[in-house]
Structure formats: structure tokens, C-alpha cells
Structure 1
């Protein structure tokens, strides 16, 4: 079964991360399936807008436990290739030629925050929680960092990158990560209102408007390939470092890393 479900209603395509039993956490299959789905919809002229959401209670809880265990035991080269695959997913979502809407139905941690930041519009349920908690593992949010910083600004990113704290949906809205926060039972109606607005625009103009905004913000897909390579090398180096191994081992064994001992 695919880790991502694609459904279509008229000109709207919905991508649902479908691993509710692990809170839609990333593993190789989810990264590959979501990247392939984004590429497929990018080529489909009948699709005018894309909605991204998660099945079950969470949007995406970040890295999968078993996937992290494998990466903890892998070498630097393998970790770099793994990070490049995640980086490509984020880059393809960021530069998807159609408007994208994140339907944030629950918790978005780590890479889940990256997905939200890569969407053009984000609507969150009131109870949604967010975190960039990589430093608690001796790591950094490397490959998602350009997109998160573009969404929330450097000042907010500096705080959240170094504290790893959990923050609520109203705080996410205040810093620009999400545009609207609504009661959980009003989430679909709020997304539908956004889609109605998107349906009134010319599809070519919307694609060009998106490229215009990103370009004026200094972000192009070609430039991001270079940045992604550098950030993938950074996270690979940290994963195999003494501190990264300490943090990952502690997390996997549900113990404390040495800096908390």
C-alpha cells in the first residue's frame, strides 16, 4: 500500500500522508511516494490546486523511529544520500507549479514543519502543535531550514532552532508559519474557502505569480539544489558525529543524552 493517497475532486488534488499508526512519520517509502505524487500532479494540467494533509490525528511527526535507527547505524555517505532525498521532496513541493495548501490537522514536528513551510497557504486546526526539536538529538533541521526561515523569518528561526521547543497553532500563525487557525471541526470548510479563492485565478497567472514571489524572495530551484547539497552534507556529518550518535542512541533507547546526564 502506498504511503501517500492521491484523491481528486474536480480541479483539486489531495495528497494524504497515510501512515496514521506512526503519526505520518517520514521513512524512505513516504519520502519516495510523496515526491512521486508531487511530480505526477505537477505534470497534470487538469489539476489547479493541491492540498496536503495527514491521515489520523497528526499531520506529520517528523522522522520515523525505525528509519532513524537505520540512519544512526549508517555511514556519512549513506546519510548524505538519504538527506538529499528528503531535500528533493521539500524542493519539489516548494516549487510545484500549482498553488498548494497545507491542511494541518494535527501535530507537525521536524520535517512536518518543513512541509507546512513549503506550501503556499497553510490552515491549521486549533489543537495543532509544532516543533523543530532536532537539537534535542544533537542534530539540526538542515534540509528544511531554507523553507522554514523563508516562512517565519530569521529571528524566529534562531530561537526555535536552538530551543527545540513545542509551540501551539496561534504562535505558528503569529510568526507566519500558518495563515489561519480554526476549530478542528471547521478545518475542511476553511480549506474549501481557500480553494474557492484559488479557483477564481487564472492558472497560468497563478503559476507565474508563485515563481515571481519566490524569485523576488531570492529563491530559485536551481539555487536551492546547491543549498540542499550543502545542508545534506551538514546533517550527514552531524548524524555520525559523537554528539549526534549520543543523541540518537539516547532517543532510540528512551534515555538521556550525555549533555543531560
Structure 2
């Protein structure tokens, strides 16, 4: 559960917060905490004017929660703490005075969809299909639902949640508003992310801060809301259904 890493670099006004985990970039609590810290550090840096959120590797942007760690949760408090890791990352993106660009190079599942939705602008490849698989393992996407629904609307969120075993294409995700731009491959995506980040870094910082406030109007209650949602997920993960589903998935 301690495998993986988070890094933060700042170059020419562009802060890049990057994460990696060998299990398809899934996120255990340690990496969630480090990613939150990286985003907060970038937001506070006088040298950073825009933040790029990305993962390493070429296939999966983020597989969501670490199933190995979910199986280690033994009480409601531990469950709430784990799922609060995702709420902390989402709130760090929301509260940042700087625009956050998500670079989604591959599939996003569960919490990975939440990370993409927490960004202000999202660029992806055509391979970046998405899925909210939480119902299939006995929990729901409660923590990330405010961010996802805010981007794609209730109808699309319902489809994504209820069709818990099905991937929706990157084209679908762009049509519904999660992705802003799609690119054929990773090199083209990276060039587009760099060009956009450079442009944003050249703009008036106060104008960007003002825009950020407008983009997130109406979300001032999310600290409390996402904490409540984390508690719901933290309780459900203790159920026999969810524990059996997780074990079955890991044995595949």
C-alpha cells in the first residue's frame, strides 16, 4: 500500500502534480494525502500560475480506490478516513486559486473520474474511456458524485452510475462535458496540454483567480458535504457484500 509516488515540479509558471501506482494508478490513502499536499503546495507557490494534474504510464489515468487497502478497513472511522482522501483531493482542486488542467491519457475508473471532474479543464486521449464501477462492488460514487454531476449533469451521471459494469467512450465523456478536448494519442495530448498551460501562465493572475471563483460558485458547502459522503462509503465498505465483491475482483 506504500508503493507508488507523487511528484511536484514547477517550471515557467506551470506546476505539474503527477502520481503513479503500479496497480493501474490506483490510489491508496498515502498517495491521496501526498497528492492533496502537492496540489495545495502548487496553489500556494508564487512561482506557479497554473496547475497540471496527471498520472504516469500510458494505459490508465487512474483506476480509483486501492482495493487492497479497502479490504484492510475494519471500522467506520477508518473507512471514512480513506474515502476522505478523495474528498481532500477534490477540495484542493476546488479551493486552489489557480486553474487546474487535467491530462487524462487513458482509462479513468471510479475515483479517477472524480479527479478529472475536479479539474477546471480536461484534455484526454481517444482511449480515455470512463466507468463508475462502485455499485458493482457494493458501494456508490458518493464522494465524487458532486464533482462528476456538476460536470456532466444528472442524466449522464445516472447512466454512468447505473451502468456500473460498462465503460463509456472518451467521445461520450466529451459530449457530456467531462472532457473539453480529445486527442488521437499521448504525444499530441501532451503538446496540447503544454500549449494551453503556457497560455494560461501568461495571463493576468488576478483574472485567472476571478475566473476560478466563478467556475466554482455554489460549492462552498463541499467541505461538509464530501465529509458526509465519505462516511457513507466508509460504512458500506464494511458490508459482507462489498468485502466478497472486492475479494472476487482481486482473484480475477
Residue pairs, 1:182-201, within 5 angstroms: 182-184=183-185, 185-201=187-203
Distance 1:213 1:93 in 2: 12
- Aligned length, in residue pairs: 247
Residue pairs, 1:228-239, within 5 angstroms: 228-239=226-237
Distance 2:215 2:120 in 1: 10
2:208 aligned residue: 206
Distance 1:212 1:75 in 2: 39
2:134 aligned residue: 134
What is the TM-score normalised by the length of structure 2? 0.92
CA RMSD of aligned residues (A): 1.6
Distance 1:135 1:111 in 2: 13
User: How far does residue 121 in structure 1 lie from its aligned partner after superposition?
Assistant: 0.7
User: How far does residue 2 in structure 1 lie from its aligned partner after superposition?
Assistant: 6.8
1:107-132, Cα deviation, whole Å (9 max, x unpaired): 11111111100001100011122111
Runs of 5+ consecutive residues of structure 2 not aligned to the other structure: none
1:179-238, Cα deviation, whole Å (9 max, x unpaired): 0000113111211232233134211121121112211xx212xx1111112201211121
Pair 1:78 & 2:93 matched: no
Distance 2:183 2:86 in 1: 29
Residue pairs, 1:151-230, within 5 angstroms: 151-164=151-164, 165-184=166-185, 185-215=187-217, 218-220=218-220, 223-230=221-228
What is the TM-score normalised by the length of structure 1? 0.89
Runs of 5+ consecutive residues of structure 1 not aligned to the other structure: 255-261
2:42 aligned residue: 41
Pair 1:97 & 2:97 matched: yes
1:257 aligned residue: none
Q: Is the 8 A contact 2:14 2:198 kept in 1?
A: no
